[in-house]
Homo-oligomer: A and B are copies of this chain.
């Protein structure tokens, strides 16, 4: 009983089941896959695979379907990488390069993933905490309010209002702006706290209060976990006939709306290098036990990960295709990101 053929059988089962979404039996398998052996032999292999927990049968007299564990083995060892077609690559490139600002880049990336994979796409905005500061702007508004605008080198713009008790003139403001910008230039947003401290200390007494207030607002705004934003696209794909979830799609949609939790999941599973896959019950989120998640980090061209993008679909998904699409978009995105 060759070990190798058993894996061939598993691969054949996964591929067939993904394509037809019907449990696959021994006869069909031998007809469609030139395994060179008879159905009876395949049945023996199947029994072994089932014993190992890699496949299961929905009911006694039905074919087999892969288990989560089976998919895992398939993804790790059996799946053949299938690069995107040239037209697909070109489509990604042109569609992304047409984007006019960061919002546009992120939503377009989402559409792209949703379209290429036929599944749900999740794209995170470049994380503030992993970005650098490009520019800090202070805009006085009518009454005693100050608008603080932070522009990162990944293109994000954040704004906060600040109530300033004392009046201030444009000169002070200009100086403040210049000093802060000089102090922060090139630093990661997480590191500017100390740089700002030096600035505030150097300010003349009468303006020190204002300076500390600004510094506080900026660091507070950028430290907030809640400011991690994501974009969701392609939910309509979940309702396609090809996706039937045992539990219905309610739990899935609900899980997707818990953006904070969802983002946590994605962050945890993404290691810096390349694409990560989480299958079925490997997802700690209850609503996603019938789905698999394929994610990749993306970032500036120097390889730093500043955000995550991913595709979510049923465990019975086209893993090679999805992985290829996610990887490709992540790469192009890294190239296109303002840096």
The chain A residues found within 8 Å of chain B, CB to CB, are 100-103, 134-135, 137, 139, 141, 147, 149, 151, 155, 157-161, 221, 229, 233-236, 238-241, 248-250, 253-254, 256-257, 338
> In the complex, what residue of chain B is closest to A250 when comparing beta carbons?
B239
User: Which of B103, B160, B254, B338 touches A229 (beta carbons < 8 Å)?
Assistant: B103
> In the complex, what residue of chain B is closest to A239 when comparing beta carbons?
B250
Q: Chain A interface secondary structure, helix, strand, loop or mixed?
A: mixed
Q: A100–B160 contact, CB under 8 A? A: yes
For the complex, give the distance between the alpha carbons of A250 and B158 in Å. 35
Q: A147–B159 contact, CB under 8 A? A: no
A124 to chain B, nearest CB (A): 14
A217 to chain B, nearest CB (A): 10
User: A101-B159, A147-B151, A149-B151 known; A238 and B257 CB under 8 Å?
Assistant: no
For the complex, give the distance between the alpha carbons of A237 and B242 in Å. 21
For the complex, give the distance between the alpha carbons of A159 and B100 in Å. 9
Chain B residues near A254: list those with CB within 8 A. Answer: 236, 239
Q: B257–A234 contact, CB under 8 A? A: yes
User: Which of B135, B235, B256, B257 touches A257 (beta carbons < 8 Å)?
Assistant: B235
> In the complex, what residue of chain B is closest to A181 when comparing beta carbons?
B139
Q: A139–B141 contact, CB under 8 A? A: no
